[in-house]
Chain A
Amino acid sequence: MAQEIIMPDVGSGVDEGILLNWTKKVGDTVSAGDVIAEIETDKATVEVPVSAGGTILQLNGTPGQALRVGSVIGLIGAVGEQAAPARPSGNGAAKPAAAPSAPAVSVPAAAAEVEDGSLPDGVKASPVARKMAAERGIDLAQIHGTGPGGRIVKSDVENWTPAPVSPAAAPSAPAPVISAPGFGRLPEGPDVEIIETSKMRSRIAQRMIEAKQQTPHFYLTVEVDVEPLLKFRAQINAALDEAHKVSVNDLVVKAVALALRDFPNLNTHYYGDRLVRHKRIHIGIAVALPTGGLINVVAKDADRTALSVIAAQNKEMIARARDNKLKPDDIQGSTFTVSNLGPYDIDQFAAIINPPEAGIVAVGSAKKTPIVLADGTLGIGNRMKLSVSVDHRVSDGAEGAQFIKRIKELLETPAGLV
């Protein structure tokens, strides 16, 4: 019986990839593990192996086409087997990853291979693969299973290495179509330059449209007295080596992570009739790239990671982001995001939520500012504005207000951050 070749998960948050080329053709005999296609995503170029040997009966898609994660991209049968004519000629790009009854929101790629939501960790994996992944601290959701039905087996864990990240700009394949209203005729002539939209730009465009159209944002802003925070930072940095010195942003990340512990509803992702409450707190940090565009690096378990460790890891990840050397692990799994435009002398701003997260904290610059002191006279304070954007489907104003107030308290009494 023919077996379906499924478009694999190519990284969290990525729900499709561009087919660069098929490395095998219909009629070829393949063994389990043979690569049949190269797929480019905005994060990496990945090879797609087959999980079973046999004869390739069908390949769906032409180079340049976008293939959805979880879709059937081909059929493989016993040697000599022919494709059954009755089979729907499932086009990889057309067949949805989710069941027809699923909500219209995008399902994270990791969920696409799951057949049964009751599986431990949501993935099919052999017991020894689970044990080894746990020992090595590898998140099973990042591993592509090559066993039957996409099961993660021992060799998948042994062979797993973070995939190299391809340059974000200048893709050779056409960008995915953005489902926005038409743009009209392209202006031409000597006064304009036509630039192909980079894959990352397309991706950002697509995600931001999705976020703005589908996520009902509300925004709350507070002013934080950062005098104690800056003193605290100076004190601890005096004791830390260069690699571990803590930035204001690291302190905000820590405060947000600790506040999320008290407000687990904001560490929850919206999937229509299901809410996914994340038990671990991974803070995405938006990083502007020198080549344009931005990417989120992820401070894993920020609530229970030492501040100096967060600082060191963030420094390394941000450096890798700017050198285009990110590892998949650097950019996967964020449950809530912090965006900091403080270094750009911005007073305050309202950030767009990174779906399916429930919120994002926007950080402005710390500034000397006139303030009314307790005795009613005027004085000089050091203040920083924090805004939070919240998905109103998940949370409401009162909770959002208490959440941002908690962050403010944590930052104003910074000893609680260590």
Chain B
Amino acid sequence: MTEKNVPMREALRAALIEEMERDETVFVMGEEVGSWQGTHRVTRGLLEMFGERRVKDTPISELVIAGAAVGAAMAGLRPVAEIMTINFAFLSIDAIINHAAKVHYMFNGQFKVPLVIRAASGWGNQATATHSHTPEPIFAHFPGLYVACPSNAYDAKGMLKTAIRDDNPVLFTESIALYSKPSLIPDDEYLIPVGKSDVKRQGEHVTLVSYARGVEWSLEAAAMLAKEGIEAEVVDLRWLRPLDLEPVFESFKKTNRCVVVEESLPHFSFGSEIAAQLQEAAFDYMDAPIKRVSAMDVPLPYAKEIELMALPNAQKVVDAVKEIVY
């Protein structure tokens, strides 16, 4: 089996192409996905390959995009709708939460909503307070909606293909900072199952739990810690819903310590949820308080230096680990 080094945006594009070739009910829609080739170039060339019927440029209205996608999915198609950045998904939250996530339940299973909403997420590009959100945990709050948050190109491809094939609505977020980062990707097709975490690094002294871009910081921190003799295990949750914490519990029973690493905000956060579930499931294995490394609890500043201060990074993860590895 041969494999190639492919950046995440190309891996996502390949997933779209493969699924559109495999199943003609799959189509993409969103702002600038067609003739502009996609704001993040994930849909580059798709219009030429599949035509206007399956690559739909939409008006600049996120509620329309999400609402139309829900309707198309209920009618039997498999839309992959792109919201340019997740900041704009707030405009479509009614269609996502009240419709996509609830229709199957509210109509007693008469309708399925096999919908994927792709949205770029993340901060650190001086996009300031309103355009730098990572609200994945907000969406993961609601039952009925799957939330996929890949941390690398390989996972992104396998997870997007799975998301498209799944009959449940999936919010699929793509960290902007990861678009150009490559992984080795095999030529042969592969799928990554829904709701399956992945241990990205083995270690015995502390468990780092994260997803998406946080995994990158965690792995970087683990490499730094290894030089000091501290071996961190890194668990990539990949899906915030369904949430697979078994590998986290298993790891924690070995390390007895945990730092949760999240790009998003600390208040009512992903980290809070993991800490709560972990203490309940593995109280007798706890040797130190569960730490969280999050963005600071502020509207993100514009000035580059202050913006970076507010963001998590590998060094902050290292510092948190050292607070509990004694």
A residues near B (Cβ < 8 Å) are 32-33, 51-52, 126-131, 146-148, 153-154
Contact = CB atoms under 8 A, between A and B. Distances in A.
Given A147-B288, A153-B288, A154-B256, A127 B283 contact: yes
B256 A128 contact: yes
B284 A128 contact: yes
B284 A127 contact: yes
B326 interface: yes
A130 B285 CA distance: 9
A128 B289 CA distance: 12
B284 A131 contact: yes
Interface string B275-316: 000000001111110000000000000000000000000000
Nearest to B288: A126
B1 to A, nearest CB: 43
B285 A128 contact: yes
Contacts of B285: 127-128, 131
Contacts of A33: 326
B326 A127 contact: no
Interface of B: 256, 283-288, 326
Closest CB pairs A-B (n = 6):
A126-B287, A154-B287, A127-B286, A131-B284, A32-B326, A128-B287
Contacts of B283: 127
A202 B45 CA distance: 92
Given A126-B286, A127-B283, A128-B256, 8 more contacts: A126-B256, A127-B284, A128-B284, A130-B284, A146-B326, A147-B326, A153-B287, A153-B288
B121 to A, nearest CB: 36
A146 B256 CA distance: 16
Nearest to A131: B284
B277 to A, nearest CB: 15
Nearest to B253: A128
Contacts of A153: 287-288, 326
A340 B242 CA distance: 70
A148 B287 contact: no
Contacts of A52: 326
15 contacts: A51-B326, A52-B326, A126-B288, A128-B256, A128-B284, A128-B285, A129-B287, A130-B284, A147-B288, A147-B326, A148-B326, A153-B287, A153-B288, A153-B326, A154-B256
Contacts of B284: 127-128, 130-131
Nearest to B284: A131
B250 to A, nearest CB: 15
A128 B285 CA distance: 4
Contacts of B287: 126-129, 153-154
Nearest to B283: A127
B151 to A, nearest CB: 29
Nearest to A52: B326
A154 to B, nearest CB: 4
Nearest to A127: B286
Contacts of B256: 126, 128, 154
A262 to B, nearest CB: 36
A130 B287 CA distance: 9
A178 B287 CA distance: 42
Contacts of A131: 284-285
Contacts of A148: 326
A109 to B, nearest CB: 23
Contacts of A32: 326
A50 to B, nearest CB: 10
A341 B135 CA distance: 78
A51 B325 CA distance: 11
A153 B285 CA distance: 11
B257 to A, nearest CB: 9
A32 B284 CA distance: 24
Of B256, B283, B285, B287, chain A has the most CB atoms within 10 Å of the CB of B287
A394 B53 CA distance: 93
A147 B283 CA distance: 18
Nearest to A146: B326
Contacts of A127: 283-287
A52 B323 CA distance: 9
Contacts of A146: 326
Contacts of B288: 126, 147, 153
Nearest to A33: B326
Nearest to B285: A128
A128 B286 contact: yes
Of B284, B285, B286, B326, chain A has the most CB atoms within 10 Å of the CB of B326
Contacts of A51: 326
Nearest to B326: A32
A147 B288 CA distance: 9
A51 B283 CA distance: 23
A140 B20 CA distance: 63
A257 B111 CA distance: 75
A127 B284 CA distance: 5
Contacts of B286: 126-128
